Structure 1
């Protein structure tokens, strides 16, 4: 499991111009099961993704395809973790 922190490196006007393409990218990878959650940070200086990838290389490949990455609008910090404790509603994602 991975937590990805996006930090914008461009003004919000440029971010907003790419937002429809970024959201389409999010929807595609959520439908594929790679992304479990996504949302913007407050204050609005980036976003957070919760990802379930086969490995780090698969996640990195997907992140390179994000329109924000392709346009140089964000940096990405990836933290891998093993969810050993979850709420019951998230038990399917709990490590055994």
Structure 2
């Protein structure tokens, strides 16, 4: 499982221009079953995504196609998380 942090860069002002394309990119990630959760970071710092079911390499390649990343609106960091415990509703995340 991975946490993707998308932190606004100095080009944050371009976000509105690419928001529709970024949202389409997010929808594709959900449709493909890779993204489990997406939302804003506290204090308007950017956004975060919880991803599962893809290799790190595949996820990093996907992230590089985000229009916000391509246009320099955000910088992306992918952090791997090895879940060891989960609420019963999320136990599927513990499987390989």
Normalising by structure 1, we get a TM-score of 0.91
Judging changes above 3 Å, is the alpha-carbon distance between structure 1 residues 92 and 53 closer, same or farther for their aligned structure 2 residues? closer
User: Unaligned 5+ residue runs, structure 1?
Assistant: none
Q: Does the CA-based 8 Å contact 1:83-1:95 persist in structure 2?
A: no
Q: How does 1:38-57 map to 2 (within 5 A)?
A: 38-57=38-57
Displacement of 1:12:
4.4
Deviation per residue, 1:24-57 (Å, 9 max, x gap): 1001111101111100112112001101143111
Q: Which runs of 5+ in 2 are unaligned?
A: none
**2:12–2:74 CA contact under 8 A, matched in 1:** no
Aligned residues: 96
TM-score with structure 2 setting the length: 0.91
The runs of 4+ residues in structure 1 deviating greater than 6 Å are none
Q: CA RMSD in A?
A: 1.4
Is residue 7–residue 47 contact of structure 1 (8 Å, CA) maintained in 2? Answer: yes
Shift in Å at residue 89 of structure 1? 1.0
Q: Secondary structure at the match of 1:43?
A: helix
1:68 is aligned to 68
Shift of 1:86: 0.7
